[in-house]
């Protein structure tokens, strides 16, 4: 991977996702490890997969670890269960799962706000048997409106993401137009205009989308970008995605936000998985 070029990457702001990188370390050690690797910003999936409302002491300990490392929290997922894995969000599932999401909304927003985090990500939720998809969509919109208002309360945006059908066959948002359509519905329902598209180039490539066309059409509605190479969801250079070209297109289209590194380090320590980056 060294020698990829990536001259344009020197102009890009990268953060590292501590829920997929540095996972060989305990959660509270990961922010400092990211800082030691040269990063000034991190993002996270909801770290407590079994609890939308963890003990205050656990929240405080993670907050202190992030502050002590001197890194910025740029993004946080609302509760969505086990990730990566079979769980893909709870906000569209009636009953207990929806209630777990609702219980998490204010907790996650308060935690994110205390660290100046500007983006909260709400995974839409898998389809479940025995429930009319229209009922699930109505519940999802209701819960996304709740999440958007909580995000607005801390000055943040709400991110809505398309996943990929091969790995998440029950997830209904498996294209950029589908995710952006939900973004538009949330903004229309709240009047806040703080819902944005999370453009994950790995997921979109797995769906076979025309990535330059997606960038041209949807950059203006994009609030965050995530990358991994394809195939394999590894670091740039381990697959065949032209990520340098795609990030260059994003910049030309006006995107100047963070790009999250959400890839697997492979059979090596995470600290060694950044040799493609310019230093």
Q: How far apart are CA 143 and CA 122, in angstroms?
A: 9
**Which domain, by its residues, includes 59?**
7-272
Active site residue 262: yes
Indicate whether 278 belongs to any domain.
no
Please count the other Cβ atoms lying within 10 Å of the Cβ belonging to residue 187.
18
Indicate whether 279 belongs to any domain.
no
Indicate whether 26 belongs to any domain.
yes
CATH number, position 30: 3.20.20.150
Question: Could you tell me which of 5, 83, 11 has the C-alpha nearest to residue 47?
Answer: 83
The helix or strand, by DSSP H or E, that contains position 61, with its residue range, turns out to be helix 56-69
Indicate whether 155 belongs to any domain.
yes
From 43, 209, 244, 262, active-site residue: 262
Per-residue pLDDT of the chain (279 residues; tens, 9 = 90+): 333 445 555 568 999 999 999 999 999 999 999 999 999 999 999 999 999 999 999 999 999 999 999 999 999 999 998 887 766 667 888 888 899 999 999 999 999 999 999 999 999 989 988 999 999 999 999 999 999 999 999 999 999 999 999 999 999 999 999 999 999 999 999 999 999 999 999 999 999 999 999 999 999 999 999 999 999 999 999 999 999 999 999 999 999 999 999 999 999 999 999 999 976
Q: Tell me, what's the pLDDT at 93?
A: 81
From 43, 161, 209, 244, active-site residue: 161
Contact 154, 170 (CB under 8 A): no
Q: Tell me, what's the pLDDT at 279?
A: 63
Indicate whether 2 belongs to any domain.
no
Q: Tell me, what's the pLDDT at 91?
A: 84
Indicate whether 140 belongs to any domain.
yes
Across 191-257, the runs of DSSP E, i.e. the strands, are 195-200, 222-227
Q: How far apart are CA 161 and CA 204, in angstroms?
A: 10
Rounded to whole angstroms, what are the CA distances from 159 to 48, 54, 76, 193, 233?
A: 20, 23, 10, 12, 21
Active site residue 161: yes
Q: What is the C-alpha radius of gyration for the chain, rounded to an integer number of angstroms?
A: 18
For the purposes of burial, counting CB atoms within 10 Å of the CB of 134, is it exposed (0-12), middle (13-18) or buried (19 or more)?
exposed
For tokens 């607005």, the residue is: 152
Please count the other Cβ atoms lying within 10 Å of the Cβ belonging to residue 24.
13
Indicate whether 205 belongs to any domain.
yes
Indicate whether 277 belongs to any domain.
no
The 3-class SS string of 84-100 reads: CCCCCCCCCCCCHHHHH
For the purposes of burial, counting CB atoms within 10 Å of the CB of 7, is it exposed (0-12), middle (13-18) or buried (19 or more)?
exposed
Across 64-215, the runs of DSSP E, i.e. the strands, are 72-77, 119-121, 157-161, 195-200
What is the tally of structural domains in the chain? 1
């Amino acid at each position: 991977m060294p020698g990829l070029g990536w001259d344009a990457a020197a102009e890009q702001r990268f953060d590292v996702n501590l829920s997929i990188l540095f996972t060989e370390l305990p959660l509270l050690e990961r922010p400092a490890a990211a800082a030691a690797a040269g990063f000034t910003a991190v993002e996270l999936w909801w770290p407590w997969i079994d609890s939308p409302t963890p003990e205050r002491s656990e929240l405080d300990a993670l907050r202190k670890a992030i502050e002590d490392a001197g890194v910025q929290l740029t993004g946080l997922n609302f509760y969505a269960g086990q990730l990566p894995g079979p769980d893909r969000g709870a906000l569209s599932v009636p009953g207990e799962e929806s209630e777990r999401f609702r219980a998490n909304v204010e907790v996650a927003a308060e935690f994110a706000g205390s660290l100046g985090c500007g983006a909260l990500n709400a995974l839409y939720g898998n389809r479940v048997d025995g429930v009319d998809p229209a009922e699930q969509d109505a519940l999802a919109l209701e819960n996304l409106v709740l999440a958007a208002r909580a995000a607005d309360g801390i000055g943040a945006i709400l991110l809505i993401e398309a996943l990929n059908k091969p790995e998440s066959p029950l997830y209904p948002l498996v294209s950029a137009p589908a995710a952006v359509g939900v973004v538009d519905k949330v903004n229309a329902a709240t009047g806040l205009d703080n819902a944005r598209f999370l453009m994950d180039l790995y997921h979109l490539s797995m769906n076979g989308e025309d990535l330059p066309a997606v960038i041209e059409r949807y950059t203006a509605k994009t609030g965050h970008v995530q990358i991994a190479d394809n195939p394999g969801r590894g670091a740039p250079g381990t697959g065949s995605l032209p990520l340098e070209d795609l990030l260059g297109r994003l910049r030309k289209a006006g995107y100047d936000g963070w790009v999250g590194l959400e890839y697997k380090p492979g059979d090596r320590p995470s600290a060694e998985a950044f040799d493609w980056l310019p230093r």
